[in-house]
Chains A and B, each alone.
Chain A
Amino acid sequence: MLVLFLAGAPSVFDSFTLSQILTKALWLGIAAASLIFLSSYGGMISLGQTGIYAVAGFTMANLVHAAGGRNLGWDPWAATAAGIAVATLFGVLCGAIASRSYGIYFLMITLAISVIVFYFFAQVTTLSGYGGIRSVTPPAVIGNPVINPLPLYYAALVASVLVYVGIRYLARTPFGLALQGIRDDPARMQALGFNVSLHRALAFGVGAFIASIAGILSVWYTTQVSPGGINLAQTINILVIAVIGGLYRLEGAWVGAAVFSTIDNYSRLWMPNVGDWLGPDRFETVIGVIFLVIVLASPGGLVGIWESVWARRNRAGRGPTESSGMPAAEEVDGVVDHPAAV
């Protein structure tokens, strides 16, 4: 129903909203979904997703016709495939390095990946430089998203649905089940004969594949790519989106991204000027306050709030139960609340 509604959205909205709110929410959602996949199924909270999607974006942008970069003039689809392949490979490599680490160490290694990628592209002027690559040629079917945002919107929608369905499918495969076992108790899985590090590295590769799709869409969306779009702030934005939506609920990725891009845009219109304290240029403050409120009110994000409200209602309907007081960790499609993984 949601997908059907989103499919009909272009008839409701003007091209700006379609492009700057919905399309942006969809590609940011895919980037956040790659993080939520890793955190909810693999117990890995990665700050490296921005770096990985940047590798896909920069690879693709260098291969096609563009102003800046290598400008090699490849067919956009071939360049897209190459971008995704290089980023996935890069992800597996990073996964191999990070897979033996847990908790804060894993977080730091993945943060380092994003920072290294940022400085690499900012400093290697033959591949980008600080100014980045402009007027990147998208495939003909996408066209110029500023003039006609529809094709890119549908491409992002289809990609989002495929990513969602794909992750759900993967979670039920033996690989996905083993990954969830590793998330819950790596030592026991090791004892059962599973190669825990390999599993985690491969899962990181899958996360990289998903992130790389977001990377490609982001370049088509802005028609350019520059290190300014993959800096530390963006790395944190992706984490904030995932946490606002719900770090352990796949749907949360797109919910968080939709809320983020809506606030990002409209806070500039609605925010009154209060001296130097508050104003349209204080967007980060607003997001920060919302982030704090959500984290305090519901560690499961917005989707977590829905679920706990629903669980309470159900319990109220059933009458008092033994466990009244604390909302139980409800299982939804194999995803469980797993704050211990943090």
Chain B
Amino acid sequence: MISALMDGVVLGLQYGLLGVGLTLIYGLAGVINLAHGQVAVMGAIVVSLAMEADVPAVPAILIGLAAAAVFMLLVDATLMRAVYRQEGESRILLGLLIMLGVGFVIDGVLEWRYPIQQLGLRIGGEPIPILGVPMSTGSLLATAVTVVIGLVLVVFFRSTALGRGVRSVIQDEQGAMLVGIDPARVRTFVFGLSGLLAALVAVTRAMTGPVGVSSTISFTILALIVAVVGGLGSVSGAFAAGVLLGVVDRLSSFYIGTYVTTIILLLCAAITIVARPAGLFGRSH
């Protein structure tokens, strides 16, 4: 039970980080990125290919993160141009469909060229007991990385001009323009950041188990559920929802079975939409 809880927190923090990338793009651009998990796994595959080419682990990871970030920057600069010209419902639908297509393309390419390529990062060392539960060094490292990046994000959004700029565009795009912020540049930045964070989650997941093309869709679905439960556009909400859903995930697979976890998580998202449409941390206006 405690071990399932701890696993849930470890997993949940990573779910949170996965949701942050999705929620930021929705908040800024009104685009639901249905290729989020695909971009994450693509980054992980790049890392594994680099490591096979004898690049040491840390530089290989940086290459993978950069690849995912650059990919998202290119999406923003090309495919999304058509989306940004639309308003309201047609913008959301067009963005969703285009990103669904991008996801299929990434899936297709990965299945065609790298069907059995996987990223697994074995972290050596004996399990370390935390609250009496032996935690693998991989889990602990993944958690540490996620927590550090989460804190960096909090500081970034609270205390830097660019971070405040991102939040201002999410809250009121016209207000942002009137204080001298270029929403298009902020959007471009957030696309890159989102790709980087997605790939980072795939890398931390690889510290506890292999990540390959079979993980893409579940990553996307998880990111979507986390973003909905946390409130679309809310970074702190995404982390809180991630931890909550991680715990729900582990407990339901511990008491019932792995086969129901996704259904239970989807149920959580559905209940959130009915009970608190703006998410845990969102405000209904």
Please determine whether chains A and B interact with each other in the same assembly: no
Using a CB–CB cutoff of 8 Å, the interface residues on chain B facing chain A are none
